[in-house]
Chains A and B, each alone.
Chain A
Amino acid sequence: MSDQSTGSELSAEGGHGAVPLKDVPTGEGVTPLEPEWPLYEVFVRGKRGLNHVHVGSLHAADDRMALLHARDVYTRRNEGVSIWVVRADAITASSPDEKDPMFAPSGDKVYRHPTFYDIPDNVPHM
């Protein structure tokens, strides 16, 4: 159990689940000099893809540098045609503590899946 009690103090840092946000500057405005560059989450839209997909994270000093780094680290093998980067501390994430109330209620509602319909062959991406 973490000593954090609410989801609002947690961030999806590094894509590895929730971590404390304590002492991490958030939002816009002037941030104090930090020993480490802030973390960014990277989303890439592939050549054949429709959506930007989370591919990983990296460190950068500012937004533009994060874009350049993302280009260098995550699109070296011709993967992408578009990149989004966002500071990890700008992401509000659900907490593992609230996993059950958040997700368990949908577990037994199979009727929400569109499996009772025949999807025509010419409807893509379903």
Chain B
Amino acid sequence: MDSHIATPAEDEHDSAYSGLLVNDAHWAFGTDFEDPLAGVDTTIPDGVDGPTLAAYALMLGDDALVMSHRISEWTSNAPDLEDDIALSNIALDLLGQARLLLARAAKADESVVPVLPEGSPAPPEDAIAYFREAHQFRNVRLTELVNGDFADAVVRVLLFSVWRLATFERLRASRDHVLAAVATKGVKELAYHRDYSARWFVTLAQGTDESRRRLLVALDALWPLWPELFDTHPVEAAAARSGVGVDPAAVREAADGVLDQVLDAAGVPRPEAPRRAGVLGRTGRDGMHGEALGRMLAEMQSVARAHPMGQW
């Protein structure tokens, strides 16, 4: 190195990375794994039922947690290094949303937190994530399916983020301060996920014969789970009535409109496959899941369950 090249300390604008380690204030949630809701007003709004708020937060939190885990399975397996990192980033965004939402559920109703051995250091959101059975999860079934090829990941992220962004845009007005804050933060993340997946959707559709074929196969496979996203579960109806939640049926039009724009740009007709029925009318929101979720949880939860006293 030539001696006249300034060191970062002398001329810090020469490095995009200088100043990052000066203090931790710019990290969204610090660099430590402490209570994610520290400093946030977690009072339950007047007239809101704690268990209803908790059950609603669990639904949104489980969607994020399960989706995050499925996307994280792409790490080191994506077709390209850059997309590997992009998918990992999406998974981490959703994991962050899950943490906040599960912690919110625990604060609103302690009875949703599984009881761990005396003295376990696991925080409530970890207990909820790692010590519940599949039937206690409230995620929509779209999130839990076994991964397919890259086109499957693109379609899955697109459907999920279009729906969740439409939901979070309304959730910003929630009477619950925590849900409103989670939504405000999440909208920016989900807007990026939607942009990323929509661009890939169009690229694959307009790419080669093979990329288009794979995209259409993935879309046909996931389409039957799209209507389930807009079903209104009694918990969601109650949360919407009390002003803390969003009725999924109310975002259908907005979400369909966005999706149609993407389909138009890609030159892909809207699929016509019928919706996947629930079991005796019960779907993901009722805790009715496919085998895939059980296997996924077995892997995701095994370490935490083997070491309930573990400190991470």
Contacts and interface: CB of A to CB of B under 8 A. Distances in A.
8 contacts: A37-B80, A47-B26, A49-B18, A58-B81, A68-B195, A69-B85, A72-B89, A79-B17
Given A46-B19, A53-B15, A113-B4, 8 more contacts: A44-B16, A46-B17, A48-B12, A53-B14, A59-B82, A69-B85, A72-B85, A76-B89
B307 interface: no
B20 interface: yes
Contact of A78 (B14, B26, B195, B196): B26
B11 interface: yes
Interface of B: 4, 11-20, 26-27, 80-83, 85-86, 89, 192, 195-196, 199, 203
B98 to A, nearest CB: 19
A73 interface: yes
A50 interface: yes
Contact of A125 (B13, B89, B192, B195): B13
A91 interface: no
Contacts of B195: 68
B13 A55 contact: no
A58 B4 contact: no
B211 to A, nearest CB: 11
Contacts of B199: 64-65, 68
A79 B203 contact: no
Contact of B85 (A49, A73, A79, A80): A73
B15 A49 contact: yes
Contacts of B89: 72, 76
A109 interface: no
A22 interface: no
B66 to A, nearest CB: 22
Interface string A87-106: 00000000000000000000
B86 A46 contact: no
A46 B13 contact: yes
Contact of A48 (B19, B80, B192, B196): B19
Interface in A29-66: 37, 44-51, 53, 55, 58-61, 64-65
A59 B20 contact: no
Given A64-B199, A65-B199, A72-B89, A48 B82 contact: no
A37 B19 CA distance: 33
Nearest to B11: A125
A64 B195 CA distance: 11
Contact of A49 (B12, B80, B83): B12
A45 B13 CA distance: 9
Nearest to A80: B16
A73 B85 CA distance: 6
Contacts of B11: 125
A77 B85 contact: no
B86 A61 contact: no
Contacts of A64: 199
